């Protein structure tokens, strides 16, 4: 065998010289990462030799296999080598980024790194490639990058969460291939609205709130929390949907929606139980998180979502600290230039309640009457517009039929003038009889 290792299950046995001077074997756990967010992590640990293994001392001779079979391959715990986590630098490879993708433009940047709009050479589709800053290995940024990959891998696919495709490492950089959202971020839309002095309408605000709440509901039901909800982490996908594709009477308005909001940037995601909290943007941070009270983390996402809606409604930039920061944490809404309905204002105010228990959950939000009524109103408005188009088309069809009849009559007059004259005379005589001209009157008398 020499220096080669005998593979056992998914781990490995490596020969070493023990105190007796004879070869002995040490079981080394497999060289893989464990995703802490997946429910299969415990099963992977058990099956891959990360725990509950014991080391069996044996000599390197012909009876090794028999002794291993007799002991069921059990190894002693005290001599188990701990598993080594794969770092970013250890998974380097030839530049997959340059080989598989053609970079179109840079579409964003932040503390973590930059995001590029790329087209994949093989399938011709556009993706967003997130590339981390350098250096990364061994730093806190590496932990955040891996946390984002773990979270994306577990969350899978949801219409209101940015879709994840793959991740890899190159030259001390982490690269994450995500869905490309052609509408940019909500922060970009808010900046543009501020530039032209416009705001999201109340119907649009309710739609934004409902869609992001649906994404949060999905994340929270997976026992995860986002912990960094804000406009720059909500992305917009714009899809043109023809009105003819909207089925009349369809209660599901998702098919007719032209704007879809998606939650992205999962670098601060953590578990609800035994969380590892990395504080996000202080402007959207709930006070209980600052006080290190992690007993109700999903409600911190609700708090941040409420302030995100305020920003979309036209509120001034939120404070990072100071008196106004504390006033918001006491339940006072930021000043909003447009007048919102009382029902929406009350809902948003409830979402920033100082008591997390009083804030609605994401499950309650997606069922809230204020948001569902807005959703139904949107669908009803589409049906009204569809009926108006149908009525307009009916009028056009009627006018077209009249024009065709007039054209046919004109052609007949040119081709058969005598027939037209005769027909006109007959019609005149018929009309005269109907109105009583030259018409004989008759009198009837009945005698009883």
Residue 284 is labelled as binding a ligand: no
124 annotated to a ligand binding site:
no
In the annotation, is 228 catalytic? yes
Question: Any known ligand binding at 46?
Answer: no
Residues 6+ apart with CB under 8 A from 51: 45
> Any binding-site annotation on 202?
no
Residue 391 among known ligand-binding residues: no
Sheet holding 23-28, edge to edge: 6-8, 11-17, 23-28
Please tell me whether 190 is known to bind a ligand: no
Q: Tell me whether residue 110 is annotated as binding.
A: yes
The alpha carbon of 231 is separated from its chain's Cα centroid by a whole number of angstroms, namely 13
The answer to whether 108 is a known ligand-binding residue is yes
Known binding residue 113? Answer is yes
Is residue 361 annotated as involved in ligand binding?
no
Considering the candidates 62, 123, 172, 228, report the single residue annotated as catalytic.
228
Q: Write out the binding residues for Mg(2+).
A: 233, 265
Q: Write out the binding residues.
A: 107-115, 130, 233, 265
Residues carrying an active site annotation: 228
Q: Write out the binding residues for ATP.
A: 107-115, 130
């Amino acid at each position: 065998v020499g220096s080669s290792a005998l593979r056992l299950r998914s781990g490995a046995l490596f020969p070493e010289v023990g105190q007796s001077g004879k070869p002995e074997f040490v079981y080394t756990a497999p060289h893989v990462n464990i995703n802490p967010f997946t429910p299969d992590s415990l099963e992977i640990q058990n099956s891959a030799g990360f725990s509950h293994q014991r080391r069996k001392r044996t000599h390197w001779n012909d009876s090794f296999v028999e002794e291993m079979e007799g002991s069921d391959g059990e190894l002693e715990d005290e001599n188990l080598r701990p598993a080594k986590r794969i770092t970013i630098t250890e998974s380097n490879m030839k530049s997959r980024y340059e080989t598989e993708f053609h970079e179109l433009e840079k579409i964003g940047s932040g503390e973590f790194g930059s995001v590029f709009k790329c087209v994949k050479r093989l399938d011709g589709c556009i993706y967003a490639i997130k590339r981390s800053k350098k250096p990364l290995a061994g730093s806190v940024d590496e932990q955040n990058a891996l946390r984002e990959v773990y979270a994306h891998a577990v969350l899978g696919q949801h219409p209101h969460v940015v879709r994840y495709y793959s991740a890899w490492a190159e030259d001390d950089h982490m690269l994450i291939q995500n869905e490309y959202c052609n509408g940019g971020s909500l922060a970009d839309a808010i900046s543009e609205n501020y530039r032209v002095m416009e705001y999201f309408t109340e119907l649009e605000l309710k739609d934004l709130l409902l869609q992001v709440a649906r994404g949060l509901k999905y994340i929270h039901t997976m026992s995860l929390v986002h912990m960094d909800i804000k406009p720059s982490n909500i992305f917009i996908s714009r899809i043109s949907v023809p009105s003819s594709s909207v089925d009349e009477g369809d209660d599901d308005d998702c098919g007719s929606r032209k704007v879809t909001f998606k939650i992205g940037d999962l670098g601060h995601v953590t578990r609800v139980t035994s969380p590892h909290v990395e504080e996000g943007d202080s402007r959207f941070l709930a006070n209980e998180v600052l006080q290190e009270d992690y007993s109700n983390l999903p409600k911190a996402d609700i708090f941040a979502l409420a302030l995100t809606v305020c920003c979309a409604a036209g509120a001034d930039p939120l404070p990072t600290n100071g008196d106004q920061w504390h006033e918001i944490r006491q339940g006072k809404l930021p000043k909003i230039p447009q007048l919102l309905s009382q029902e929406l204002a009350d809902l948003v105010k409830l979402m920033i309640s100082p008591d997390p228990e009083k804030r609605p959950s994401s499950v309650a939000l997606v069922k809230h009457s204020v948001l569902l009524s807005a959703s139904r109103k949107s669908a009803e408005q589409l049906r009204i517009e569809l009926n108006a188009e149908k009525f307009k088309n009916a009028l056009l069809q009627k006018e077209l039929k009249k024009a065709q009849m007039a054209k046919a009559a004109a052609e007949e007059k040119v081709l058969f003038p005598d027939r037209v004259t005769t027909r006109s005379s007959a019609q005149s005589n018929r009309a005269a009889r109907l109105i009583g001209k030259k018409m004989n009157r008759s009198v009837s008398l009945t005698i009883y």
